[in-house]
Structure 1
Amino acid sequence: MGRFTLLWMLPPLAIGAAAAAWFISQASGPAQVPAEAPGQAVHVQRAQVRDIRPTVRAWGNVRAAEHWTAIAEVRGTVIWRHDNLEPGRVIAAGDEVLRLDPADHDLAIAQFEADLTAFAAEVAQIEAEAANTGKVLALERARLALLDSDLARVRDLVAQGAAPRARADETERGVLAARRVVTELENSLALIPSRQMRLTAQVARTEAALAGARRDLENTRIAVPYDLRVTQVQAERFQFMSIGQPLFAGDAIDRVEVVAQIPIPGFRRLLSGAPVTADVLSALQAGVTWPIDAELRLIGDPSQVWQGKVTRIEGALDPRARTVPVVVEVTDPYQGAAPPFRVPLVPNMQMEVTLTGATLAGVVTIPESALHGDLVYIADEADRLILRPVTLAFRQDGIAAIVDGLSAGTRVVTDDIAPAIPGMVLRPVEAVE
């Protein structure tokens, strides 16, 4: 029974094996998928065109825009001093604050006025002398004419033998004496103009000295030229002050300045949108209008803000930092002051200065992280890496402004790739802006 069953099962098994062999021989081989290199995942952003204003931040100390020091122009003892002439006090323009003893100057004025009176009397005397001398000269000339006629008549008589020779000699001596008197009178009249000129010069010199004495008298009263806040006082009551000695000093309160030290690249960035000036010296002489906005914040309390304007650039770089000293002016530094909530701007306060240049239109910008030296990594349309050189204008607030080498919409890689091999496959992940 067992052998019969085994024989009965052999034919189906043989048929199944033959069918399997036939199917295997007829089946196609396994499909082959070509292997691809795995791409590197990177973050990309598209280059954008935007309008941008260059901005630079710097720091500086407040200083007075105008500082005035009163110097003694005359010597004398301080006989009066204003009650508000103390450091920190504010004095209005035109207020008299000091007086020096005027006694010496009053005496000098009296002396010069007396000299002028004496000169006036001398002028009158010379004029009278000139008039009298002129009258006497006229008489002497008439007498000389008579003597000349008499001499001619006597000479005729002597020639006729009617008169002795001695009479002619005596008459001639009289003529010579009269001629001498006339000559002396003429000389006296000729000298009068020079005497008048000398006297006129003396009068002018005395008048100038009198004007100087009166000016010195005015200089014994010291008044301030504009509203100022007193910073130093050297003059005390009953103190003798010499010519050239400082009396007091003060700062103008209508405006202050802050000198912001700007690195040269930052200053160049600020002027990126400014018009190009060919003649720098002429522009400086005419007064350059800087297209730069300035905002100042108090260090320690950034909520206190002032607006300023750039007025000039000082004449030399900082000797140590080699930075550009930009002078920012703030008008009305005391306006709105309400200590302790808002303080006025006073010298030596530390300020943060934000300078903003003119708007640059249509600038191609990319994230600063996409810049690798002078190269930018670009993902092309086939997601392969391109290393492209670009020309950088400036960096600011995490972005880089590109002058040349890049167009808007280009995908730039913001990650570092090491090594960066041109043509390598990328898997870009575009950042959501």
Structure 2
Amino acid sequence: MANKQSSAKVQPRMVPLRYVLTPIAIVFLAIVILMIVSAVAPKPAKKPIEIKAPLVEIMPLVKEAVTFHIESQGSVSPRTETTLISQVSGNVVNVSDKFKVGGFFKQGEVLLEIDDINYQVALVQAESRLGTAQASLVEEQARVEQAKEEWLLSGKSLADAPLVALRQPQLQKAQAELKAAQANLQQAKVTLNRTKIVAPYDAMLRAKYVDIGQFVSTGSQIAMTFAVDYAEVRLPVKQRDILFLDLPKINQEKSFGSAVELTLVIGNEQFHWSSKISRYEGVVDSQSRVHYVVAQIDNPYALLGATRQSELRIGTFVNAKITGQTVENVIAIPRSAISGANTIYLLDSDNKLHIQTIDVLRSDSEYLYTQDELNPDYQLVKTKLETPIDGMTLRTLASESTNVQTGES
């Protein structure tokens, strides 16, 4: 019985057709409704695409007289530096209280003294030899006169007398010995004076090599001094800048060129010194290809007379601003307005762009200078342009500001 039931076949149930067609109808109806709505809905108005010209800042082209300034730098050095050498030998018996590094001496002031006893003795001996020579000459002159009288007694003329008979060789010998004695005396005085080492000019002591009690020999170094009446600063100048300087005349004494302002910053304080170019070396450095001019600073240590300038020490590294020549009809162009090496952008009255290259007269950190004849009706474009095209239209900040104000009113 059970086997008969399991072997019977199960008939599948049929799904009603409405369950299949209803979803399809709904989807189709939604599509139709969407198409109808899209067809009858108002379309948005199309706005024209507005392409604005680049906005730039401009400035007028103005010709003016420009005084060029050349920047440089250098170290302060003495105009004269001397190593004092002993010309005599002996013990140092006396030194000045100022005989120390940094000590100041007026010209002719004694720095130190060397024991002079031997040279005083030599002077006395020279004076003695001079006295002997003078006496010998007087004696020989008397003998010459006596020889002449004796020759005349013979009835002969002095013109016929031989030189030996008139004692001329003996007289010349006595005269020569007198001159030698005079020279020896002069030499003894000079040598004695050299036992005192004096300042050759108004000087400051830079180094000393001996002190009291020390024995010095001829040729020994005593001290090193430098002049303080004025100092110098050797300034390098580029080839393109040397043409704009006023250089001193080579064939004129005490001729000065362009004014130079020296500056030094120490902490928060800045010091200034006024100077002038005293000479131009006239040689181009073979390695750096620069020229050198020398600025002179009078009385750098404020030791000689009244001065309002601060002390400027030897060896100080200073910055220099040289006042160059004044050139007429120059246009100064900011570096921000330069494209490449020498290309500028100009704007005409119709706001059209003109690309132009210029000849650069000179340049510095802020400006390029030119004397080119540029159209005075054009304006200089100061704004950088990404893709400049000659003849393209530009907008200016000035015109945009005017438009905004007009719209608000």
TM-score range, shorter chain: 0.7 to 0.9
Residue aligned with 1:232, SS: strand
TM-score (norm 2): 0.73
**Aligned equivalent of 1:206:** 181
CA distance in 2, matches of 1:128, 1:222: 46
Q: Aligned letter for 2:63?
A: V
Q: What is the Cα deviation at residue 247 of structure 1?
A: 1.0
Q: What is the Cα deviation at residue 346 of structure 1?
A: 0.8
Distance 1:36 1:109, change over 3 A: same
Equivalence map 1:208-247=2 (5 Å): 208-247=183-222
Distance 1:209 1:404, change over 3 A: same
Instruction: Specify which of 57, 81, 96 is matched with residue 71 of structure 2.
Output: 57
Distance 1:387 1:405, change over 3 A: farther
The answer to whether 1:364 aligns with 2:339 is: no
Distance 1:363 1:216, change over 3 A: same
CA distance in 2, matches of 1:119, 1:232: 46
Aligned 8 A contact 1:55 1:354 in 2: yes
**Aligned equivalent of 2:315:** 348
The answer to whether 1:76 aligns with 2:90 is: yes
**CA radius of gyration, larger in:** 1
CA distance in 1, matches of 2:205, 2:193: 22
Larger RCO of the pair (alpha carbons < 8 Å, separation 6+): 1
Between 208-217 and 65-74, report the one with greater CA deviation: 65-74
CA distance in 2, matches of 1:297, 1:135: 86
The answer to whether 1:428 aligns with 2:403 is: no
The answer to whether 1:403 aligns with 2:371 is: yes
Instruction: Specify which of 34, 37, 44 is matched with residue 58 of structure 2.
Output: 44
- Percent identity of paired positions between Structure 1 and Structure 2: 22
The answer to whether 1:330 aligns with 2:278 is: no
Aligned 8 A contact 2:144 2:171 in 1: no
Between 99-108 and 313-322, report the one with greater CA deviation: 313-322
Distance 1:415 1:205, change over 3 A: same
Instruction: Specify which of 246, 252, 260 is matched with residue 286 of structure 1.
Output: 252
Unaligned runs of 5+ in 2: 1-47, 304-308, 402-409
Q: What is the Cα deviation at residue 38 of structure 1?
A: 4.7
CA distance in 1, matches of 2:375, 2:168: 94
Aligned 8 A contact 1:388 1:405 in 2: no
Residue aligned with 1:424, SS: coil
Q: What is the Cα deviation at residue 97 of structure 1?
A: 1.7
Unaligned runs of 5+ in 1: 1-33, 146-184, 337-341
Q: Aligned letter for 1:204?
A: K
Equivalence map 1:22-37=2 (5 Å): none
Distance 1:348 1:188, change over 3 A: closer
Q: Aligned letter for 1:367?
A: P
CA distance in 2, matches of 1:349, 1:309: 17
Aligned 8 A contact 1:374 1:389 in 2: yes
The answer to whether 1:374 aligns with 2:342 is: yes
Equivalence map 1:116-155=2 (5 Å): 116-137=130-151, 141=154
Distance 1:315 1:219, change over 3 A: farther
Q: Aligned letter for 2:264?
A: L
CA distance in 2, matches of 1:115, 1:311: 52
Distance 1:416 1:287, change over 3 A: farther
CA distance in 1, matches of 2:181, 2:117: 19
Aligned 8 A contact 1:71 1:246 in 2: yes
- Structure with the higher helix share, 1 or 2: 1
Aligned 8 A contact 2:203 2:226 in 1: yes
Q: What is the Cα deviation at residue 289 of structure 1?
A: 4.6
The answer to whether 1:387 aligns with 2:355 is: yes
CA distance in 2, matches of 1:299, 1:256: 19
Runs of 4+ with >6 A deviation: 34-37
Aligned 8 A contact 2:147 2:166 in 1: no
Q: Aligned letter for 1:295?
A: E
Q: What is the Cα deviation at residue 50 of structure 1?
A: 2.5
TM-score (norm 1): 0.70
CA distance in 1, matches of 2:102, 2:254: 35
Distance 1:51 1:405, change over 3 A: closer
CA distance in 1, matches of 2:368, 2:207: 50
